[in-house]
Chain A
Amino acid sequence: MLKNSTIKPGHRRARSRGGWLRATTLTALTAGVALASTAHADVDAGATLPGEQSGNVTIAAPMRSSVLRTQATKVQWISHQDCIDNIQLTFNPVVTTLATGKALVAFVSNTVDDCKQNSTRNDPTRCHHLPVVSGTESQGSPLVTFKAQDLTELMNVANCGDDVADAGTANATAPLSLKIYFMVAPPAEDLVAGNPNINFAIFSDSGIDLWGPPPPTGLMVASGDEALQITFTDGANEASDRLGYYIYVDDGTGKADGGASMTTTTGGATSTGAGVTTGVGAGGSTASSSSTATAGGAGGASSTSTTGVGGNGGASTSSSSASSASSTSSVAATSGGATTTTGSATPSAGVTSGGNTDACNPSTVVGTCTAASLSLVPGATPSDVSLDAVQTGNVGQVSSLKNGKGYVVAMAAYDDVGNIGKLSALACGAPAPVDSILRVYKCDGGLTETGCGFCSMGGDRGGSFGALVSAGLVVAGFAARRTRRHRAARASRGAR
């Protein structure tokens, strides 16, 4: 019987990176074979998963060897970072009565090619055969592990998609849904309902999405009190998988006040930089998932800026330990008055910061920012999430900044798999003190007690307390008088 949505999830859940699942690629861990009754006990009979099932093969949701990335909602999909980390997906197909000499085989295909069709199944360009286990057991529930990079390469995407020329743009952001088939010795015929030889299960809630959505456009930064407000226009989102935007802020040192630490990388295995429009070199390759990253690539040929910027270090599990050969330099702040709202960045000499920001009559200096001296590089892909995110609307805010200090702002979109797209064009601004009521009141002479709001409660004459006590005495007096009169009236009635 062929039916939809009958695959049941198991109880096991993903383990953190480096957990107990370290199986070889496409190798069945037959040591984990257990009796079918035991395997069935692991199945949550109440729930269903997307897919199909027929015969004596059932499949539960796979387990991930790595925890999900922040904000990701597609649990079993492979993101760019998953591919870089080469995470593992481990399935636990349950086969009852696996006959001697029969083998459990696996295929992976996109959602267009149907591996149930014999001709498609035998086309290695459409259905990728994954030999899993040769059956010697009459029953079994092997653990079958796939590695992310193998899956992506089988789907003809090498180097986790970093070699794609337009990776991260609107042309290359479409996610690829996958179907993973588990079959018991499929006959050389189409697998159709009613065929007693049909034993298979399909898991169809997985896929590959290696590119984040394109960045927003038209960033405008408005200054606030110790804050910046960013308005923007949504970028293209053909895949409709964008969940929101991260805001990255750089004060010229690569680390923003109140925001996440900022490192960007173009990743990839190349050691020499391929210049992007702003002269960004590709990052050095990352040897492994450890924190050791190679030096960044050479500066790319820039078409718009005067100097190319060397690529940052390769992706690292710890952004703070990634070494970088970037030519990024810190920015010297210049003194000046309070800075005000600025629009989109026009690359110039550096970040301008203001001084004397808390005076009642600050002078006004317009902050400027530059692309060439910062760790924020338009078109580069951030290696880490930001604490400042926008999920709805087209206005974001970054707070806990310093007034009078220049900041460069960029944004990147993220999708439901956890991919972060490329950085937008830069914009800059400087938080500045505002004419709040308390500040204006103070500057206009209203502050008389060094800002102590409750000082007046005691009063220099104590009048308030006196009035309060007087009012209390009046009320108490009325009450006492009324009580006495009531007692006297009752006494007189009793006397009569």
Chain B
Amino acid sequence: MKPVLRASLASLAVASLLLLAAPARAQATHVSDTDWRRLDRSDSLGKSASSQNFTFELRFGQYFPEIDDKPGLTKDKGGFLPYKAVFGHDDKNNARSNDQFYFGLELDYLPFRIPYLGALGPGLGWGYTHTSSAANTSGTTNVSATSTAFTIFPMHLSAVLRLDELMRRTGFPVVPYAKIGLGLGIWTGSPVPTDFSGTGATWGMHYAAGGMLALNFLDPRASARLDETSGVNHAYIFGEFMRANLNGLGSTPTFYLGSTSWVAGLAVDL
């Protein structure tokens, strides 16, 4: 057999197999479960989906207050700076890490759409982190009956850029984003010495960058229904590198409240 003929027969055989396979697949699938629509319907989605102007985030992570980073602090007899000395042990004086659990909420308003790039707008974030420990009696290593606690409310007003055009045009479910803005940390501490204020605030800068994974691909139909009924366009999980540089913005704050940390959470587009 000539090579040309052999190649032609082989091609015919492959084509026949494909032709046979397609009806078989169609027969194997129930008609009501088929979805003939394109997965990428970004052009039509832009017309039929609800408007998308807000993003709401639930944020969880660790927080490492930079209180001991303030210049001028001296170490105690044990060689620890104050925050580590007070919160670096548990109720039985065992050493422990002084990282804290962080919880936050953020609402972004993204009215500006930059062609071929994404959405831009202001974002307002509020966070909460708290730690407490049994305080030692002053001048001793005896654990007292009093607990001491410190709470920080890290907040920010930032410009938020979400690069979602890639997802909108190709369906690739990843949205990188970045934030930059003004940060503010409100702190409260207890118990309060007589000559000390028990609460205060520190300004600073807030930076963050991260990526969001849209979960709509897991169940496009459910996502569409969610959009129709509640206006939620996308649901995401996200990871973010956050830098809260709350050091007073050139002023001299009572506390350095910032932290560099990783944050994860859930977000929805509205």
Contacts and interface: CB of A to CB of B under 8 A. Distances in A.
Note whether A and B form a binding pair: yes
B74 A445 contact: yes
Interface in A442-471: 442-464, 467-468, 471
Given A228-B145, A454-B200, A464 B251 contact: yes
Contacts of B139: 337-338, 361-364
Interface residues of A, number: 60
A446 B249 CA distance: 17
Interface string B182-226: 100001011111111111111101000000000000000000000
Interface string B158-196: 010000000000000000000001100001011111111
Contact of B197 (A226, A439, A452, A467): A452
B136 interface: yes
Given A225-B144, A441-B67, A459-B250, A454 B196 contact: no
Contacts of B76: 440, 444
Contacts of A243: none
Contact of B248 (A358, A437, A456, A471): A456
Interface string B112-150: 100000001110000000000001111110101110111
Contact of A459 (B144, B198, B251): B251
Contacts of A434: 135-138, 144, 146, 148, 191
Contacts of A337: 139
Interface stretch (A31-39, A49-57, A164-172, A475-483): A475-483
Contacts of B190: 436, 438
Most B CB contacts (10 A, CB to CB) among A453, A454, A460, A467 go to A453
Interface string A425-437: 0000000111111
Interface stretch (B6-14, B16-24, B27-35, B81-89): B81-89
Contacts of A364: 139-140
Nearest to B150: A437
B179 to A, nearest CB: 12
A434 B133 CA distance: 12
Contacts of B200: 452-456
Given A440-B82, A468-B182, A471-B182, A362 B254 contact: no
B250 A461 contact: yes
A435 B249 contact: no
B144 A341 contact: yes
Q: Size range of the interface on B?
A: 35 or more
Contacts of B202: 456
B77 to A, nearest CB: 9
Given A435-B135, A440-B85, A459-B249, A224 B145 contact: yes
A482 B120 CA distance: 11
Contact of A453 (B82, B159, B187): B187
Given A358-B193, A440-B82, A453-B201, A435 B148 contact: yes
A227 interface: yes
Contacts of B205: 467
Interface string B69-110: 010111110000111011100000000000000000000000
A224 B148 CA distance: 11
A491 interface: no
Nearest to B76: A444
A49 B90 CA distance: 54
Contacts of A159: none
Contacts of A478: 112, 120-121
A442 B193 contact: yes
Nearest to B134: A434
Interface of B: 67, 70, 72-76, 81-83, 85-87, 111-112, 120-122, 135-140, 142, 144-146, 148-150, 157, 159, 181-182, 187, 189-203, 205, 248-255
Interface of A: 222-229, 337-338, 340-341, 358, 360-364, 397, 432-464, 467-468, 471, 474-475, 478-479, 482
12 contacts: A225-B146, A437-B86, A437-B149, A441-B73, A442-B196, A444-B81, A452-B197, A452-B200, A453-B197, A464-B182, A464-B249, A479-B111
Given A397-B145, A434-B148, A440-B76, 18 more contacts: A222-B144, A224-B146, A338-B138, A341-B137, A434-B146, A436-B146, A436-B190, A437-B148, A437-B149, A438-B190, A441-B73, A446-B67, A453-B200, A459-B203, A463-B250, A464-B248, A474-B159, A479-B112
Q: Which 5 A-B pairs have the closest CB atoms?
A: A453-B200, A459-B251, A229-B145, A464-B203, A224-B146
